[in-house]
Amino acid sequence: MDIGVCLPIGVPGAAGGRLIEFARRADRLGFSSLTVTDRVVYDSYDSIVALSAAAGATTRIKLVSAVLLPAYRPSTVELAKQLASLDRLSDGRLVVGLSAGLREDDYSATGARFTTRGRRLDTMIQELREVWQGKGPAPGTGPRPVAGDIPLWGGGHSPAGLRRAARHTIGWISPGGPPQRFADQVTAFRALWAEEGRTGTPRMGANCYVALGPDGAEHARAHMLSYYAYMGPMAERLAAGAVTDPGALRALVDAYAAAGCDELFLLSVTDDPDGLDLIADAVLR
């Protein structure tokens, strides 16, 4: 199983220099991927801009949006151009995880309709691929992706989101939870994949919050109660689920691998690059 880490662009006040060093260190330590989350109405960096900065600071690591919310963006052509540019700048290291999202305020902020976001995302997936082929609403828009296309990876856990992932993408990224539940999700998604007439095996990913080192539990609680405040009491449960012990993290990694996970994304609750060394000691060495 591959193990990636999330660039902590959603930590309020995260320093740009620390995020760049975070990306460099993740690349150097041997993590499989560097991921970003996506949000508008919060003290966070823009996900595409952040991945572009990371592309210039790294040479090997895969760059993954986990997940991007395309449907709050007004222009599919502009988004296609941005993503293709990032793919070219990173020499083809980009993978676009995408979902419709849950936060209505992100849509209100950009003037997009929240209630039709799923249908809009379905249309955008088709249009993104057309633009990358030199066709679509504005034929001739470039640049072209390095491989002619960019892998799409589905997120979201609604029935429509799961069906969309099975129909249009390379697999599905779970928002997290116990590995035992993930094993059931793998089985269910593979059934959807087959129903859609897909061949081969879907790529299965999952997210997990990690807070190793001194005061890890306190850092996790502070960050997650802020980031997930819109979820009410559920934010407390999410904060309590962050892994704060190296041994527990190693056991969790093993359990996810046994459950059928192809890539586990570990989300840091601070922008401290030194935390990556603690994670690497627990799961890579």
Look up the CATH number of the domain holding residue 85: 3.20.20.30
What is the Cα–Cα distance from 58 to 21, expressed in whole angstroms?
10
Q: What rounded mean pLDDT belongs to the chain?
A: 97
Q: How far is C-alpha 235 from the chain's CA centre?
A: 19
pLDDT at 218: 95
Average pLDDT of the residues in 253-270:
98
What share of the chain has pLDDT > 70, as a percent? 100
Q: How many domains does the chain have?
A: 1
Q: What is the DSSP letter of 145?
A: P
Q: Which two tokens stand for residue 36?
A: 């970003």
- Assign 144 a pLDDT band (cuts: 50, 70, 90): very high
pLDDT at 81 over 90: yes
Which pTM was predicted?
0.97
Residues 6+ apart with CB under 8 A from 260: 182, 183, 186, 204
Average pLDDT of the residues in 163-175:
98
**Cβ count within 10 A of residue 50:** 26
pLDDT at 278 over 90: yes
Tokens 């006040």 found at: 13
What is the Cα–Cα distance from 105 to 111, expressed in whole angstroms?
10
pLDDT at 67 over 90: yes
In terms of Cα–Cα distance, which of 35, 27, 8 is closest to 173?
Answer: 35
Average pLDDT of the residues in 122-126:
98
Is residue 3 helix, strand or coil? strand
pLDDT at 285 over 90: no
The torsion angles phi and psi of 34, rounded to 5 degrees, stand at -120, 120
Q: How far is C-alpha 151 from the chain's CA centre?
A: 13
Containing structural domain, residue 70: 2-283
What is the Cα–Cα distance from 28 to 117, expressed in whole angstroms?
38
Is residue 266 helix, strand or coil? strand
